[in-house]
Structure 1
């Protein structure tokens, strides 16, 4: 009796738990199953999970909401890509320090929850508000600072009030797992995953910029290896693509070969995916499958190659979005290795 092989998560660290999705083997999936979603943590899992969500600060009516109370509010479901800002960090040259993600710190699913602006409307945001701060229940030590820190991030008020920014309590129709941020987490479609705070415990409306270490030290683009001038915050996901088949360094018989994968962006939608076999001198357009009702979802693309000549080949793929952004030949190197989005490449041998 034959057993069907199953892919597994690739462990990058044990404590805190950081594991990559087997994204190369999840072909043509609209939703990544829970067991295959990547895991990105800064600290060990929280020992105490919040039983209520508080909203305070520059509001007229401070709130303390239970999960049941949030579920009683009007809900919405959004299909969205969730990508770690450090995804593909290992591809930078030289590789920056940090988790050496290759390409699997990436997933997509259906998130269900309450629009954040509905909760903020119930609290009554007062004039002068500038940012909204989100406090997670996870905490621990940082190697670069003394003391115990919680994972805390903020959003500009306009982004917090966007109709698709949500407090999620379900993934793919099931309650959030502990790994996904049970009981509540923030979901910020179009932004890298660091903005989507897990195990959400407190929301604080402020009249000034938040400067915690996960806001002002981490998740900043530092363009220089040894100085901080020119730094800017990591926010919107860059246009990107991934070749899921064929695998890098794989060998294939000559004949028809289907090249396929996914492409995604945080601004607008993917409008074109192109393939090159000659180092980028010429490009051929791939077929793109997109659902216009899901603007935050990745698209599937494929290109039929008549690989009739034996030899070694490098397949290049680049995506373009509706904002006019196209993947560049080389990544914009930065000291912490965020936002890798260079042209996708695999090498194959045709025999």
Structure 2
């Protein structure tokens, strides 16, 4: 399937870097399409239609007949968001937003708020139970706190919970929690949690979680709930995320790790040079270096070294940011935590919560069989998969690929 076009496609200059990055052997084996497309620089932007989907719901709400979508608020014209005080708690707010009395937040009202409050930022979406990112884009929305303040929060407030459409079936509900502190005050240099309605300059499709979804910048994808319908203030001291019931770490933030590009050959002529490339997810700990290791399968592995810390790793190049597409973006202001508002250049590259490209120098290999690995060194000096090698808080294993070089 060809990528779906969108009006700001020319701003992002998609595909000019040649190889689409992102190896995911599990998804490819299942016949699934995955991977961001890159512009000339180190920034990878995924067209909306090319994100890999992880979604819940039977039936999926955006696949219902259009009449039913209108009825349940799956189109912008009929979308409504309720914001309430949790009836199971003693939280107090002065102005709840309810459907039954006509005070629920509509898309039109959200767009009025967006005129003065909207922001855009780059973020990668990753499922903590999959080995590779699902996609990377420029998301636009209104900080959640700017809407919650309209409800007049008063007291007994410790968390907000939220969920999307669930076919009116309690067994299908997917609820997430966020600490009140995180919603109302961003940590230094951090991006806001937001009510998101655009991706890459276009309104969200139902497949991407539209009309409106939550966006939590430092978190894995399950926190950025799609098809948002209801938010509750609660005094509950402990979160009760639906995802926790699946033996998942619901408080994990994004990890830093590297992956090979999806055009990595499994067979190569000794006459040709091998050029390794790929992308790296930049988690909360930042990114200092990407490295690779080419090992003859007959060479011994480092003893008692499961993370290969003593292996002869070689440095790859992190591709610099050029970003002509970002510079020409006409949507909501780029968030100043990521971009200088005057130059529209990144304050640092790579940036936390995003994807960047890497490439290694071409190498010639003698005939034989090889193992190829890549890893990251984060900004604090930790080599992947450290400091959190635990898969339930996000998979960041060192990727291995096999290569046969023939005469």
Same fold (TM over 0.5): yes
**Residue correspondence of structure 1 range 229-268 to structure 2 within 5 A:** 233-244=250-261, 246-247=263-264, 249-268=266-285
Alignment counterpart, residue 115 of structure 1, candidates 126, 143, 158: 143
Tell me if 1:32 matches 2:46.
Answer: yes
Cα contact 1:329–1:343 (8 A) shared by 2:
no
Secondary structure, counterpart of 2:181 in structure 1: helix
Alignment counterpart, residue 83 of structure 1, candidates 116, 126, 134: 126
CA distances 1:126-178 after superposition (whole Å, capped 9, x unpaired):
2331111011103487xxxxx63311111112222335211100111111001
Cα distance change, pair 331–245 in 1 and its aligned pair in 2 (3 A): farther
- What is the count of residue pairs matched by the alignment? 305
Q: 1:167, 1:117 → 2: CA distance? A: 9
Tell me if 1:344 matches 2:387.
Answer: no
Secondary structure, counterpart of 2:165 in structure 1: strand
Alignment counterpart, residue 22 of structure 1, candidates 19, 31, 34: 34
Structure 2's unaligned 5+ residue stretches are 1-18, 65-71, 86-90, 98-103, 296-300, 302-307, 322-345
TM-score, structure 2 normalization? 0.67
Secondary structure, counterpart of 2:95 in structure 1: coil
Cα contact 2:220–2:253 (8 A) shared by 1:
yes
RMSD: 3.0
- Higher Cα Rg: structure 1 or 2? 2
CA distances 1:89-118 after superposition (whole Å, capped 9, x unpaired):
xxxxxxxxxxxxxx3x52100111001121
Tell me if 1:43 matches 2:52.
Answer: no
Cα contact 2:161–2:176 (8 A) shared by 1:
yes
Cα distance change, pair 55–140 in 1 and its aligned pair in 2 (3 A): closer
Whose helix proportion is higher, 1 or 2? 2
Cα contact 1:19–1:38 (8 A) shared by 2:
no
Whose strand proportion is higher, 1 or 2? 1
Cα distance change, pair 290–323 in 1 and its aligned pair in 2 (3 A): farther
1:330 positional shift: 12
Q: 1:301, 1:72 → 2: CA distance? A: 41
Cα distance change, pair 187–43 in 1 and its aligned pair in 2 (3 A): same
Q: 1:49, 1:122 → 2: CA distance? A: 21
Aligned to 1:171: 199
Cα distance change, pair 349–329 in 1 and its aligned pair in 2 (3 A): farther
Q: 1:324, 1:201 → 2: CA distance? A: 42
TM-score, structure 1 normalization? 0.77
Secondary structure, counterpart of 2:166 in structure 1: strand
1:273 positional shift: 0.7
Tell me if 1:65 matches 2:105.
Answer: yes
Aligned to 1:297: 354
Q: Which has the higher contact order (CA 8 A, sep 6+)?
A: 2
Cα distance change, pair 258–321 in 1 and its aligned pair in 2 (3 A): same
Cα distance change, pair 309–331 in 1 and its aligned pair in 2 (3 A): farther
